[in-house]
Amino acid sequence: MALKPVIGDLFDLGLPALGHGCNCVGSMRGGIAVEFRRRWPEMHAAYQALCAAGDLQPGEVFPWVAEDVVVYNLATQQQSGADARLDAVERSVRAALVDAETRRLGALGVPRLGAGIGGLVWAEVLDVLTAAVADSPVELVVVTRG
Protein backbone atom coordinates (compact mmCIF):
# COMPACT_ATOMS: atom_id res chain seq x y z
CA MET A 1 0.00 0.00 0.00
CA ALA A 2 1.10 3.57 0.16
CA LEU A 3 2.00 6.21 2.64
CA LYS A 4 -0.65 8.92 2.90
CA PRO A 5 0.30 12.29 4.41
CA VAL A 6 -2.51 14.08 6.26
CA ILE A 7 -2.68 17.35 8.16
CA GLY A 8 -4.90 17.21 11.23
CA ASP A 9 -5.35 15.53 14.59
CA LEU A 10 -4.36 11.86 14.70
CA PHE A 11 -7.10 11.12 17.22
CA ASP A 12 -9.90 12.69 15.17
CA LEU A 13 -9.46 10.69 11.95
CA GLY A 14 -11.40 7.59 12.99
CA LEU A 15 -8.61 5.21 11.96
CA PRO A 16 -8.77 1.58 13.12
CA ALA A 17 -5.18 1.68 14.39
CA LEU A 18 -2.93 4.37 15.84
CA GLY A 19 0.77 4.20 16.56
CA HIS A 20 3.37 6.35 18.25
CA GLY A 21 7.05 6.14 18.98
CA CYS A 22 8.10 5.24 22.49
CA ASN A 23 11.20 4.40 24.47
CA CYS A 24 11.98 1.14 26.25
CA VAL A 25 12.30 2.52 29.78
CA GLY A 26 8.57 2.99 30.43
CA SER A 27 8.36 6.77 30.14
CA MET A 28 5.52 8.48 28.25
CA ARG A 29 6.11 12.02 29.47
CA GLY A 30 6.60 14.01 26.28
CA GLY A 31 5.12 14.71 22.89
CA ILE A 32 2.08 12.83 21.64
CA ALA A 33 2.87 9.92 23.99
CA VAL A 34 1.33 11.98 26.80
CA GLU A 35 -2.03 11.90 25.00
CA PHE A 36 -1.78 8.14 24.41
CA ARG A 37 -1.04 7.72 28.12
CA ARG A 38 -4.01 9.91 29.09
CA ARG A 39 -6.47 8.13 26.78
CA TRP A 40 -5.41 4.58 27.65
CA PRO A 41 -4.08 4.44 31.24
CA GLU A 42 -4.34 0.64 31.35
CA MET A 43 -2.15 0.44 28.25
CA HIS A 44 0.36 2.74 29.89
CA ALA A 45 0.51 0.53 32.99
CA ALA A 46 1.03 -2.59 30.85
CA TYR A 47 3.72 -0.76 28.84
CA GLN A 48 5.54 0.24 32.03
CA ALA A 49 5.46 -3.35 33.29
CA LEU A 50 6.76 -4.64 29.95
CA CYS A 51 9.64 -2.15 30.04
CA ALA A 52 10.44 -2.87 33.70
CA ALA A 53 10.75 -6.55 32.83
CA GLY A 54 13.09 -5.72 29.93
CA ASP A 55 10.63 -7.21 27.46
CA LEU A 56 10.43 -4.28 25.02
CA GLN A 57 13.47 -3.56 22.87
CA PRO A 58 14.11 -1.00 20.10
CA GLY A 59 12.53 -2.16 16.85
CA GLU A 60 9.74 -4.08 18.57
CA VAL A 61 6.08 -3.19 18.92
CA PHE A 62 3.64 -3.49 21.81
CA PRO A 63 0.07 -3.65 20.45
CA TRP A 64 -2.81 -2.76 22.75
CA VAL A 65 -6.40 -3.53 21.80
CA ALA A 66 -8.67 -0.78 23.09
CA GLU A 67 -12.44 -0.61 22.73
CA ASP A 68 -12.51 0.96 19.28
CA VAL A 69 -8.89 1.06 18.11
CA VAL A 70 -5.66 -0.93 18.17
CA VAL A 71 -2.81 1.11 19.62
CA TYR A 72 0.74 0.32 18.51
CA ASN A 73 3.51 1.38 20.86
CA LEU A 74 6.46 1.48 18.49
CA ALA A 75 9.80 1.06 20.27
CA THR A 76 11.75 3.61 18.26
CA GLN A 77 14.42 4.24 20.89
CA GLN A 78 15.98 2.79 24.04
CA GLN A 79 16.07 5.91 26.21
CA SER A 80 13.80 8.94 26.41
CA GLY A 81 14.89 12.13 24.64
CA ALA A 82 16.81 12.41 21.38
CA ASP A 83 17.62 8.70 21.15
CA ALA A 84 15.46 7.48 18.22
CA ARG A 85 17.12 5.23 15.63
CA LEU A 86 16.11 4.83 12.00
CA ASP A 87 16.51 1.05 12.12
CA ALA A 88 14.24 0.86 15.17
CA VAL A 89 11.63 3.04 13.45
CA GLU A 90 11.70 0.81 10.39
CA ARG A 91 11.55 -2.51 12.26
CA SER A 92 8.80 -1.42 14.66
CA VAL A 93 6.65 0.03 11.87
CA ARG A 94 7.08 -3.11 9.76
CA ALA A 95 6.07 -5.24 12.76
CA ALA A 96 3.00 -3.06 13.37
CA LEU A 97 1.99 -3.29 9.70
CA VAL A 98 2.25 -7.09 9.80
CA ASP A 99 0.16 -7.19 12.96
CA ALA A 100 -2.40 -4.78 11.48
CA GLU A 101 -2.65 -6.96 8.37
CA THR A 102 -3.26 -10.03 10.55
CA ARG A 103 -6.06 -8.15 12.30
CA ARG A 104 -7.46 -7.06 8.91
CA LEU A 105 -7.03 -3.38 9.69
CA GLY A 106 -6.94 -1.22 6.59
CA ALA A 107 -4.95 1.71 7.93
CA LEU A 108 -2.49 2.68 10.63
CA GLY A 109 -2.13 6.32 11.62
CA VAL A 110 1.11 7.65 13.07
CA PRO A 111 2.66 11.05 13.80
CA ARG A 112 6.06 12.05 12.43
CA LEU A 113 7.84 9.19 14.19
CA GLY A 114 11.20 9.97 15.77
CA ALA A 115 11.44 13.43 14.23
CA GLY A 116 10.30 15.44 17.26
CA ILE A 117 11.70 14.58 20.66
CA GLY A 118 13.43 11.52 19.14
CA GLY A 119 15.86 13.78 17.26
CA LEU A 120 15.79 12.20 13.78
CA VAL A 121 15.67 14.12 10.48
CA TRP A 122 12.14 13.90 9.07
CA ALA A 123 13.24 13.43 5.44
CA GLU A 124 15.23 10.34 6.45
CA VAL A 125 12.35 8.95 8.51
CA LEU A 126 9.95 9.54 5.61
CA ASP A 127 12.19 7.49 3.30
CA VAL A 128 12.23 4.64 5.83
CA LEU A 129 8.44 4.74 6.27
CA THR A 130 7.84 4.82 2.52
CA ALA A 131 10.00 1.72 2.08
CA ALA A 132 8.40 -0.06 5.06
CA VAL A 133 4.84 0.33 3.75
CA ALA A 134 5.62 -0.40 0.09
CA ASP A 135 4.79 -4.11 0.27
CA SER A 136 2.04 -3.91 2.90
CA PRO A 137 -1.70 -3.98 2.19
CA VAL A 138 -2.17 -1.62 5.16
CA GLU A 139 -2.19 2.11 4.41
CA LEU A 140 0.21 4.13 6.56
CA VAL A 141 -1.35 7.51 7.35
CA VAL A 142 1.29 9.99 8.54
CA VAL A 143 -0.37 12.83 10.38
CA THR A 144 1.14 16.27 10.83
CA ARG A 145 -0.69 18.44 13.29
CA GLY A 146 -2.21 21.46 11.54
Domain spans in the chain, listed from the N-terminal domain onward: 3-144
CA end-to-end span of the chain, whole Å?
24
Give 16-30 as a 3 state SS string.
CEEEEEECCCCCCCC
* pTM, to two decimals: 0.97
Q: Report the distance separating Cα 94 and Cα 59, nearest Å.
A: 9
The helix (H) or strand (E) run that includes residue 58 is none
Return the CATH class of domain 3-144: alpha beta
- For the stretch 29-87, pLDDT in tens is 999 999 999 999 999 999 999 999 999 999 999 999 999 999 999 999 999 999 999 99
For 102, residues 6+ apart whose C-beta sits below 8 A from its C-beta are none
- For the stretch 108-126, pLDDT in tens is 999 999 999 999 999 999 9
- Is the per-residue pLDDT at 89 higher than 90? yes
Q: What is the DSSP letter of 77?
A: B
Strand, helix or coil at 43? Answer: helix
Q: Is residue 37 within 8 Å of residue 70, measured between CB atoms?
A: no
